[in-house]
Amino acid sequence: QDIFLTETAQKADVVLPATTYAEKDGTFSNTERRVQRLFKAVNAPGQAKHDWEIHQLIANKLGLNWNYGSFEDIFKEITQCTPSYAGMTYERLGRKGLHWPCPTADHPGTPVLHIGKFTKGLGTMFAVPFKAPAEVPDEEYPVYLTTGRILQQFHTGTMSRKTPGFNRLAGPHVMMSVQDAEALGVGNGEDVKVSTRRGSIVTKAFITKRMPKGTAFVPFHFAEAPANILTNNALDPIAKIPEYKVCACKLEKA
């Protein structure tokens, strides 16, 4: 389900119309463990349904017997299954958000999780020796490339690129140093080809003194300039995390 026909939704055989945050009740929890109520502001248009309704309809078509009637029914089940939520109710959350763990109805919540000491004692701190990236610049690909977010967009843009103001502020680009731009003979807004051993994209030059010579940055929000076809998927030997944040590239005037 989705609220827009995103690039991902366009690949689906069936797209079910969902509701936005402003069209539904419920709760949300942020990274400080605060659980807060979400209050519906407007009714959903057309045949749009809440996520829980869509899941329930599919489940019952598969022969299950789900009979939730509201968001509150689901939250009550969460409090029965999750001890950290056991003391929370819709009524309490409507007055004020609560930090889990909140195990009983009279518990005030836990804004600070560890006071005085950590549950499992102190961590062992030690220095980690430097290890070079799996791919470093060379004669063929002489520039470091890193990718990431920019202030005006979010992830793949499905929650931000429908806002015209954000799009006017920031579109696809490659951020590069003044020195590298001068060497290429490109100016701000001109097309630049960014290539790695995996692939190439063409995007607009964003020249800034903030970038050091020999390093370029490409945001990953834009399907028309997909940064992820450039990145290196070599794995960290310990954590097995792909090395998406650094690789070698070359910049060319397009």
pLDDT at 57 over 90: yes
How far CA 195 is from CA of 55, 134, 215, 254, in Å, comes to 42, 17, 13, 11
Residue 131: predicted pLDDT = 87
pLDDT-derived band of residue 23, with 50, 70 and 90 as boundaries? very high
Residue 155: predicted pLDDT = 83
Give me the phi and psi of 57, to 5 degrees please: -60, -40
Residue 196: predicted pLDDT = 98
Residue 117: predicted pLDDT = 80
Residue 169: predicted pLDDT = 80
pLDDT tens digit sequence for 203-241: 999 999 999 999 999 999 998 999 999 999 999 888 899
- What's the token pair of residue 245? 């944040």
pLDDT-derived band of residue 61, with 50, 70 and 90 as boundaries? very high
**Where do the domains of the chain lie?**
9-99, 143-253
pLDDT at 186 over 90: yes
pLDDT at 17 over 90: yes
Residue 161: predicted pLDDT = 82
- Between 157 and 233, residue with greater pLDDT: 233
CATH, domain 143-253, list 3.40.50.2300, 2.40.40.20, 3.30.590.10, 3.30.1180.20: 2.40.40.20
How far CA 178 is from CA of 186, 196, 212, 213, 215, in Å, comes to 10, 21, 8, 8, 11
- What's the token pair of residue 201? 């994209």
pLDDT tens digit sequence for 193-207: 999 999 999 999 999
- Contacts with 220 (C-beta within 8 Å, 6 or more apart), sequence order: 147, 148, 149, 156, 226, 227, 228
User: Among 5, 3, 6, which residue's Cα sits nearest to residue 45?
Assistant: 3
Rounded to whole angstroms, the Cα distance separating 83 from 97 reads 17
Residue 209: predicted pLDDT = 96
pLDDT > 70 in the chain, percent: 100
Rounded to whole angstroms, the Cα distance separating 136 from 144 reads 7
SS3 23: helix
pLDDT at 157 over 90: no
Please give the model's pTM, rounded to 2 decimal places.
0.77
